[in-house]
A = this chain, B = another copy of it.
Amino acid sequence: MTMVEEVVAIEEEINAVAAPPPNFSVVEDGVYRSSFPKPSNFAFLETLNLESIICLCPEPYPEENLEFLQSHNIRLFHFGIEGKTDLSQSIVKDTITEALKVLIDVKNHPVLIHCNSGKHRTGCLVGCMRKLQNWCLDSVFEEYKKFAGAKSRNTDLEFIESFDISNMRQCLYSIIYQYQGFASNKPRLLFRSGDNNVQKPQLTKV
């Protein structure tokens, strides 16, 4: 390649239009949310350098999405929840709990959470994560509603409010103590640590 060709190639790459999936957003450093990604969104997803994807839809994952994941070594965590499920069923709580465990494990970051619209199931999972981060319920609900828009569901808000994080927190305590010892004043957890430039979650004390 000549120098001119190289400059053109770099400029073309820089000028390529980025098309995030609808309802895409950063949740936390290394945690993203969106609607169901389509092939037109794959170029954008590449820029996230995903380690894994949490899909909350029960349908088989589309072949072209699977190919994208395979070619980029992205792990798929597939938790099937029906779109208009009765959220009071205990199986939903169990599924969200399992998804939450995957979500807060930094080994799986950067991770993208998605369902179909990125509103309800994704909103519930993110809401439960915010509870684990001790966000006040007003803020948790505000965030849920921002993404659900006119399709906000009270049953989802009730699910988030009633979701019991105490078991998971007990589990986290034991990890903190195990890794940091009782006397440490640095109970780092949940997210990447050791980089002063990245966001610190609620659980981190610097």
Q: B-contacting residues of A (Cβ < 8 Å)? A: 3, 6-7, 10-11, 13-20, 22-30, 32, 44, 47-49, 51, 109-110, 133-136, 138-139, 142-143, 146-147, 149, 169, 173, 176-177, 182-183, 187, 192, 195-206
Contact = CB atoms under 8 A, between A and B. Distances in A.
Contact of A176 (B10, B183, B192, B206): B10
A28 B30 contact: no
Nearest to A196: B49
Given A47-B200, A134-B18, A205 B110 contact: no
B19 A139 contact: yes
Contacts of A192: 197
Q: Which of A23, A49, A196 has the most CB of B within 10 A?
A: A49
Contacts of A146: 25, 146-147, 149
B182 A134 contact: no
B200 A18 contact: no
A113 to B, nearest CB: 14
